[in-house]
Structure 1
Amino acid sequence: MIDRRSVLALAVASGAVRVSANPVQGDPTEILPLWPGRPPGSPANLPAERYVERAPQGQPHDRYADQIASPSITVFRPDQPNGNAVLIAPGGGYVRVVTDKEGYETARWLTARGVTAFVLRYRLPGGGWAHRADVPLQDAQRAMRLIRAGAASYRVDPRRIAVMGFSAGGHVAASLAVRHAMSVYTPVDAADRLSARPDVAALLYPVISMGAHAHAGSRNELIGKMPADADVVAYSPDHHVSVDTPPTILIHAADDDVVPVENSLGMFDALRARRIAAEVHVFQSGGHGFGLRLPPTNTAMRWPELFLVFAQTHGFVV
């Protein structure tokens, strides 16, 4: 049998997908590195970063980044900012970060409505980093702190910053929501004195459980194919909901055959048990990884508006 990475390597070699430079025309050019030097726990030899374009010529971009050595946030500024901000963590099964479908397209939808968006390109556990399972959370915490540190220059209210995550990026976002105060790296500057707590969390078809109903690929990359029971608990966000967890909205399709809907339902139950303001929206269809690319006749296409209404009830100005 050939695994997905082998298939991808063959596809790249055959020209079915294209290794490309980033950015391309139309991409934002304001990209902020997360760390002033090498990221925490860097290996002696950093991964060789690359971007891969999966879309056929002439079709909307469908790029991803992998082998990430220099994590960053890409800034999308609206023409008329309303003070709201969202940190976006795209998915990719912890082997890649899907740049366009769940990142840039969502950011553009938000900026059209006055929301300043920041697309997170986080490091992946398999890059040889020390404490590999904490690497995505290190980057998410650092990104949130940098956004707060630069709030005035971004024209955002530091009390109105949400996190939004998709699939494995949903695990990044959920981990930030429940472990924002956990010390996972040594502070490097004044920004690290700021809170990493999101004010609202939006989790779309998120990877949550590392045990029952786990997405095997994400779990294998993060904590290994045969993880210790303690690691299964430690890296399942539903086990760590506390009174400091922000209000959370969950979006999932009942027919998701990649990340079972039980991930969102389990997280919702954990939030309710702690009396955290929460909503879960389970749509009849949509599959996995739909982002903004569903047909208008699919009711799951309503999810962005549902997010904004939920965020408005928890401090956002719309």
Structure 2
Amino acid sequence: MIKETYQLWTKEEYTYPVMGQFIPNVVTYIHEKGDRKRPAMIVVPGGGYSVVSPTEGEIVAKEFYRKGYNAFVVTYTTNLLKASPLRQQPLKDLSKAVMFVRKRAEQFNIDSSKVVICGFSAGGHLCGSLAVHHNVKELVLDGEYEGINNRPDAVILSYPVITSGEYGHKDSFISLFGPDATEEELEYMSLEKHVTQKTPPTFIWHTATDELVPVENSYLFANACKEQGVVYEHHVFGNGRHGLSLANEDWASGNYGGDYTMQQLYETVQYLVDNGIKLPETFNMFGTLPEGASVREAIKQGLQRFAPDNQPDQGIAIWPELANNWLRKLFGI
């Protein structure tokens, strides 16, 4: 396996205000080069647009790697402190990631006509956003990326945030636009309203008892796909909480893989601690972090102490196989 990290922007290009050296990036999980081109699977973890969760990153990429894909994990921009609205920055990050992978199709040994994005929760909203807004002028790049297509060939949405309406996950939209979002901004990112015949084929799965992102979100997008004639498949599992990732033994035991998706979080909190700035209340669970403390270790230990008692669910854990079968049929492979 070839595992490498690539920054998506130069320091000059990346203007979102961060505390630290973070720049959105892509980590690769690539097979040694063989005779055939492989489909690409770009994994986009969730986290309410406040963090990029490691529970839906490397563990998912390796699952699809084992199924024959060359996989990638995108760590995009988030808004932990709710201080600087993200607006289109995460969407620009993901759009650039798709173009980055396509531009290097030969290097990464992928079929540039088989690029899939797979998002979870708010990462699902991000993937859905690119699916419906891929052709907007704000995402067009010139220079070496001029003419490189940012439209994914297929989309996987896992318990996705979709709507800003009645069933919306409010915190995600506060991270995107702040507490005073306009009706126009909220309507633009209520994705079920923007599905067209140009929306890529979409695979959706959710649980009926999701307590954070109501299952109605996935129904809204699936119904919009049906109305517009978009190829889609929609699976709703009868029970299960939010954030199930692969729902398998590895996930339940905490074997998620690398925590590199948390870089922006670690650097932000480290900056606050080192400069004597009071941490948000959400970090009370980690106790007092004195100047010079290792924020990364404190956060990792805190997350372990307060992690829910995850149990594998074999019924839900079949979703990657369902998605893979759907993609094979879609791509004729």
TM-score interval for Structure 1 and Structure 2 normalised by the shorter chain: 0.7 to 0.9
| 1:32–1:129 CA distance, 2 compared to 1 (3 A) | farther
> Hey, what's the Cα distance between the residues in 1 that align with 2:182 and 2:149?
30
C-alpha contact 1:111 1:117 (8 A) present in aligned 2: yes
User: In the alignment, which residue of structure 2 is the partner of 1:164?
Assistant: 118
Matched, 1:47 2:19: yes
Q: Per-residue deviation at 1:77?
A: 0.8
> Hey, what's the Cα distance between the residues in 1 that align with 2:3 and 2:324?
26
> Hey, what's the Cα distance between the residues in 1 that align with 2:15 and 2:146?
17
| 1:316–1:119 CA distance, 2 compared to 1 (3 A) | farther
Kindly report which structure 2 residues correspond to 1:224-243, keeping only aligned pairs within 5 A, or say none: 224-243=178-197
| 1:29–1:310 CA distance, 2 compared to 1 (3 A) | closer
Matched, 1:221 2:221: no
Q: Which amino acid aligns with 1:228?
A: T
Q: Per-residue deviation at 1:186?
A: 6.2
Deviations 1:51-94 (A, max 9, x none): xxxxxxxxxxxxxxxxxx30000000134675111111100111
Relative contact order, higher structure (CA 8 A, sep 6+): 2
User: In the alignment, which residue of structure 2 is the partner of 1:71?
Assistant: 24
Instruction: Give the secondary-structure state (helix, strand or coil) at the position aligned to 1:313.
Output: helix
> Hey, what's the Cα distance between the residues in 1 that align with 2:128 and 2:323?
15
C-alpha contact 1:123 1:136 (8 A) present in aligned 2: yes
C-alpha contact 2:164 2:186 (8 A) present in aligned 1: yes
C-alpha contact 2:5 2:28 (8 A) present in aligned 1: yes
Give the counterpart of 2:41 among 82, 86, 94.
86
> Hey, what's the Cα distance between the residues in 1 that align with 2:114 and 2:49?
28
C-alpha contact 1:39 1:70 (8 A) present in aligned 2: no
**Structure 2 gaps, min length 5:** 249-310
Taking every aligned residue pair, what percent have the same amino acid on both sides?
A: 30
Kindly report which structure 2 residues correspond to 1:19-168, keeping only aligned pairs within 5 A, or say none: 29-43=3-17, 46-48=18-20, 69-79=22-32, 83-99=38-54, 101-125=55-79, 132-168=86-122
Q: Which amino acid aligns with 1:307?
A: A
User: In the alignment, which residue of structure 1 is the partner of 2:291?
Assistant: none
How many residues in Structure 1 have an aligned counterpart in Structure 2? 269
Q: Per-residue deviation at 1:206?
A: 0.4
| 1:126–1:102 CA distance, 2 compared to 1 (3 A) | closer
User: In the alignment, which residue of structure 2 is the partner of 1:245?
Assistant: 199
C-alpha contact 1:205 1:288 (8 A) present in aligned 2: yes
Q: Per-residue deviation at 1:310?
A: 1.1
Deviations 1:131-179 (A, max 9, x none): 7210110001100001000001111000000000000000111011111
C-alpha contact 2:16 2:89 (8 A) present in aligned 1: no
Matched, 1:256 2:200: no
Deviations 1:190-226 (A, max 9, x none): 2242110000000000011112101111111112234
Q: Per-residue deviation at 1:233?
A: 0.8
Q: Per-residue deviation at 1:116?
A: 0.5
| 1:308–1:273 CA distance, 2 compared to 1 (3 A) | same
> Hey, what's the Cα distance between the residues in 1 that align with 2:139 and 2:15?
9
Matched, 1:279 2:295: no
Deviations 1:3-60 (A, max 9, x none): xxxxxxxxxxxxxxxxxxxxxxxx97400110133344434xx3226xxxxxxxxxxx
